[in-house]
Structures are given as structure tokens and as C-alpha cells.
Amino acid sequence: MKHLILLFVLIPSVCMSQIEMIQPLSFGTIVVGKNNEVSYIEVSPLGVTQAHNHIWLIEEGQNAEFLVTNLPPYREINVQIDILTPTAKSNFHDTEQFVVDSVAAFPSPITADSVGQAKIYVGAVLKTTGNNQTYLNTEYMANFRITLNY
């Protein structure tokens, strides 16, 4: 009697995707006229900028754009964005800090093309505190993390 032995070897496929920033998210150049109530500026993932209440837009902002490569072709990938610094910080310690809120990606989920590439566009909302503190004329920075799940 002969026995047929079949051996299956499972080799996990590791995909090391890479994310390249094409352009950073920017809220543009703004003026906070008053900080007696919460005001906000929104840059949508599609690049539309809108200012509300006591924020005036001097120079348009732009959405962030990322190119993701080395993905499995035609795979649907979920995009998760986490705000790492919930306040937009400045080098000046005596200025009020902005609050980063509602970060969003488009499209979500993304679908890789035939060569394993996809683009992600990111937008967010930046809010004032509304506590009557002063915002100085300086650059503010915040960080977020993009996680791809597939």
C-alpha cells in the first residue's frame, strides 16, 4: 500500500508599502480676528478651504497628498489617520495653541492600481480655543500618522 503525502508550505507574503508625501497639509495664512469664541478653518481632503467665525483667510491652504507604493495590486486598503499632536504647536511659548480636529482621508478605503500604487488626500479642521488668548504671528506645526490596513 502506498501512501501519498502532501506537504503544504505556507509562506506569508510580506508587503512593505511605502508612503511618500507629495505635498503637506497646510491651512494657509490666516488671521484670528478675535478669540472670544471657537473659530475654525477646514481644508477638505479634496482641497476646499473654508474659514468660519473670526478666522480670515489671507492665503489659501492645501490638502495633503501622499503616494503609496508597493501595495498588492487591486487590493482594497483601509486608511486610518491618528492625530499625534492634538494641538498645533509653535516655537513661541507665549502664544495660544490651535486644536487639530477631524482629520479625514479621501478616498477611504483606497484601492491599489495594477502596479500597486494609490494616492491618499488628507484634510483636517483647525480650531481656536475661544478663550480670549492671543495668537502670535508665527508658524504652527502638528503631526499625524497614517496607518494602512490590508
> What would the pLDDT profile of 103-125 be if each residue is shown by its tens digit?
999 998 999 999 999 999 999 99
Nearest Cα neighbor of 54 from 76, 36, 77 is 36
- Give the chain's mean pLDDT: 86
**Reported CATH class of domain 18-149:** mainly beta
pLDDT at 137: 86
Q: Are 82 and 70 in contact (CB under 8 A)?
A: no
- What are the cell numbers at 49? 478651504
Cα 9 → chain centroid: 39
pLDDT tens digits, residue range 18-69? Answer: 999 999 999 999 999 999 999 999 999 999 999 999 999 999 999 999 999 9
pTM here? 0.83
Spatial distance between the Cα atoms of 60 and 130, rounded to a whole number of angstroms? 23
